[in-house]
């Protein structure tokens, strides 16, 4: 391809005194974007979750920049280092080990500190296991009309896992979470125990990599899967279809607050509570709490 074909990369501003949050591939090196390469070649330095992990990626594309390590254990101190560089009118990028920074990876504290210091954050989108899995989920997303909640990594502690399972079980939105190979078998067993047998589940393994697998099944089919799965290795993402609402089920809290806010210009809290209680069939106590929650927003 002729060099002029990439002229569009020059059409967007590349301001200094800015931190570029750059998404990198989650497995397949070909998923790096042209814009990401342009940014990484243009900045003064790159902060990496793990410089050793990022080195092969940068070397593969011939990117030779000053790199510093910025991970969960030094994120605050690392953020100050970045701020000092930005104050000298430099451009810096941040990349995590894989995917989009800040999604179950370091990045949030860094962005918060840089923003508070008065510098600009510029996101450079790219690969994400979440969007990849959702795009291929089909029936798993249908029940929630495209809505989903992301729950990060499934926790290790039994009590925390129970909380997550209850959240997944009762949510009317599709639930999305990551799982490690060490406890994915136990997690799938818990899903089978907690969920209705017809709830749709997607199991994604090693997305974008050579041995990628995507499997859609019902919760009731999980035991058969585990019976024939000799080993469950790799990185997993799991999607669980949302719970079907009952016909007479009251709207969720956020929806109720929206109704209360619509009534707020015309009615007081007590009147709003009366309307909500009578029209939606919720208790007066709950309706009044909704009216108060709307008032404080």
pLDDT per residue over 204-245, tens digit each? 999 999 999 999 999 999 999 999 987 889 999 999 999 887
Q: What is the pLDDT of residues 66-76, one digit of tens each?
A: 999 999 999 99
The reported pLDDT for the residue numbered 249 is 53
Spell out the CATH class of 11-127: alpha beta
Question: CA 177, CA 171: separation in Å to the nearest integer?
Answer: 13
Phi and psi based region of residue 104 (left: phi greater than 0; alpha: psi -120 to 50; beta: remaining): left
Q: At what angle do helices 253-263 and 284-296 cross, to 10 degrees?
A: 70
Q: What is the pLDDT of residues 64-120, one digit of tens each?
A: 999 999 999 999 999 999 999 999 999 999 999 999 999 999 999 999 999 999 999
Q: What is the pLDDT of residues 194-203, one digit of tens each?
A: 999 999 999 9
Residue 2 has pLDDT above 50, yes or no: no
pTM, to two decimals: 0.80
Question: CA 155, CA 165: separation in Å to the nearest integer?
Answer: 10
> What is the maximal distance between C-alpha atoms in the chain?
69
The reported pLDDT for the residue numbered 3 is 47
Question: CA 284, CA 273: separation in Å to the nearest integer?
Answer: 6
The reported pLDDT for the residue numbered 259 is 83
The domain defined by 130-240 folds into: 3.30.950
């Amino acid at each position: 391809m002729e060099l002029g074909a990439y002229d569009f990369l020059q059409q967007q501003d590349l301001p200094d005194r800015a931190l570029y949050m750059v998404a990198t591939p989650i497995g397949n090196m070909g998923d790096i974007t042209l814009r990401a390469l342009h940014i990484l070649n243009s900045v003064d330095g790159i902060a990496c979750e793990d410089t050793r992990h990022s080195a092969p990626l940068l070397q593969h594309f011939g990117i030779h920049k000053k790199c510093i390590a910025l991970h969960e254990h030094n994120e605050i101190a690392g953020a100050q280092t970045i701020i000092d560089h930005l104050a000298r009118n430099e451009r810096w990028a941040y990349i995590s080990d894989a995917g989009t920074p800040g999604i179950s990876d370091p990045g949030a504290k860094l962005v918060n500190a840089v923003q508070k210091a008065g510098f600009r954050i510029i996101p450079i989108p790219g690969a994400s296991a979440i969007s990849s899995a959702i795009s291929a989920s089909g029936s798993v997303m249908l029940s929630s009309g495209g809505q989903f909640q992301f729950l990060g990594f499934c926790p290790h502690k039994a009590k925390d896992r129970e909380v997550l399972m209850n959240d997944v079980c009762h949510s009317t939105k599709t639930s999305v979470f990551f799982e490690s190979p060490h406890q994915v078998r136990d997690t799938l067993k818990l899903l089978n125990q907690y969920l209705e047998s017809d709830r749709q589940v997607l199991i994604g393994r090693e997305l974008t990599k050579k041995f990628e697998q995507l499997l859609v099944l019902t919760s009731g089919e999980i035991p058969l899967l585990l019976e024939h799965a000799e080993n469950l290795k790799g990185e997993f993402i799991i999607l669980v279809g949302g719970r079907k609402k009952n016909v007479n089920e009251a709207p969720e809290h956020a929806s109720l607050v929206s109704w209360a806010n619509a009534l707020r210009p015309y009615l007081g809290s007590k009147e709003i509570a009366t309307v909500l209680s009578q029209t939606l069939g919720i208790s007066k106590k709950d309706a009044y709490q909704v009216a108060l929650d709307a008032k404080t927003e």
